[in-house]
Amino acid sequence: MLSVALRKRREGFSLDVAFDAPTPGVVALFGRSGCGKSTTVNLIAGLLEPDEGHARLDNLTLFDTRAGSRIPAERRRIGYVFQDARLFPHFSVAGNLRYGQKRARGIEQRIGFDQVVELLGLAPLLERRPHQLSGGERQRVALGRALLSQPRLLLLDEPLASLDVARRDEVLPYLEALRDQLSLPMIYVSHQFDEVLRLATHVVLLEAGRLVAQGSLEEVSLRPELRAIVGPDAVGAVVDGTVTNVDTTRGLAEIQIGRGTLHVGAREARIGAKVRVQFLARDIILATQPPDSISVRSSMEGVIEAIADDEADTKLVRVDIGGPVVLARVTSAAVDALHLQPGSRVWVLVKAVSMRGHTFTAPLEPGAR
């Protein structure tokens, strides 16, 4: 368990947040620029001092102002990957990687040099100088350097924000691999929801220095507070499911979600694999009868839990599909015409095509690592 409570006043800004998150796992600190995400991780790392508060990782107190205890930043063993990489320009890549490792002598080496080089694909870069690297390579080296310092917690402060889309897509799989192969708690700061979607197990939503929501990604994806940050078009439930069948000739995979089955285009899916699916509310169609003879192949039976106001002429309908809940954006007119109300039985229809770019590898269960 990672338990954090912080208060910090700075000129024109005050931060007051508290959250608890399961470990290991990836906690996403999500919010707009300037909402206090970076201040939060700097306080946890010890690069800033809180006015008041504590941070505890499992049984270890990193600092607690009330008890007057604090581990200095340099002995806190918290790996930190900065947005701007911050590689040491006077060392080679190998020198950068070894910097933290050398200072972690005497600590149990949970991750070795060769393992990091292999995991992050750094072998061809070792002799180079930081200024000879691309942005994506720099971030991979920074990641490796942080890992080799044998951290108990890894902080990633918008590590992809300074990269273009292609470089981002180059680094993201490494982050996923890290999450699934090392049982290392991580805090991932981002203002890009698609990164959170791919990586997070737990989400902490911040707005103007205050916590507005926290919970698993599934829970937070249903929270109305998220909409203000991601915008109405990105509202949608995130649900984890299991691949039950793969039709390689048609490039389609069947994913079991709740009681229903979802068909998505996927060539590389593996039966039994856990996947994470985002159902954008605007892409979902509701039917009051089992659909027949339409092109949409995925239909999941469910029961309406609640109907909430959305935009002026639409409603946001919460549908329980046998455990998981999805959100559907439906016009107010349709709600009236179909007599939709809490308790109504509906079928949730999803176009396979609309799931492109919204299906990801799910994080492994902690026990499965």
Instruction: Name the residues that contact other proteins, by CB under 8 A.
Output: 45-47, 72-80, 82, 84, 86, 88-90, 99-100, 103-104, 129-132, 145-146, 149
Alpha carbons 83 and 178: distance in angstroms, whole number: 18
Rounded to the nearest whole angstrom, what is the least distance from the CB of residue 86 to other proteins in the complex? Answer: 4
End-to-end CA distance of the chain: 17
CB 170 within 8 A of CB 192: no
CB 199 within 8 A of CB 174: no
Q: Which is nearer to other proteins, 185 or 302 (CB)?
A: 185
Q: Which is nearer to other proteins, 129 or 223 (CB)?
A: 129
Q: Which is nearer to other proteins, 129 or 227 (CB)?
A: 129
Rounded to the nearest whole angstrom, what is the least distance from the CB of residue 155 to other proteins in the complex? Answer: 8
CB 71 within 8 A of CB 62: yes
Rounded to the nearest whole angstrom, what is the least distance from the CB of residue 358 to other proteins in the complex? Answer: 35
Report which of 249, 261, 259, 263 is spatially closest to residue 324, judged by C-alpha positions: 259
Rounded to the nearest whole angstrom, what is the least distance from the CB of residue 120 to other proteins in the complex? Answer: 16
Q: What number of other Cβ atoms are within 10 A of residue 214's Cβ?
A: 22
Q: Which is nearer to other proteins, 104 or 252 (CB)?
A: 104
Rounded to the nearest whole angstrom, what is the least distance from the CB of residue 15 to other proteins in the complex? Answer: 18
CB 243 within 8 A of CB 270: yes
Q: Which is nearer to other proteins, 27 or 212 (CB)?
A: 27
Rounded to the nearest whole angstrom, what is the least distance from the CB of residue 129 to other proteins in the complex? Answer: 6
Rounded to the nearest whole angstrom, what is the least distance from the CB of residue 143 to other proteins in the complex? Answer: 13
Q: Which is nearer to other proteins, 130 or 236 (CB)?
A: 130
Alpha carbons 167 and 153: distance in angstroms, whole number: 25
Q: Which is nearer to other proteins, 83 or 344 (CB)?
A: 83
Q: Which is nearer to other proteins, 47 or 296 (CB)?
A: 47
Rounded to the nearest whole angstrom, what is the least distance from the CB of residue 289 to other proteins in the complex? Answer: 59
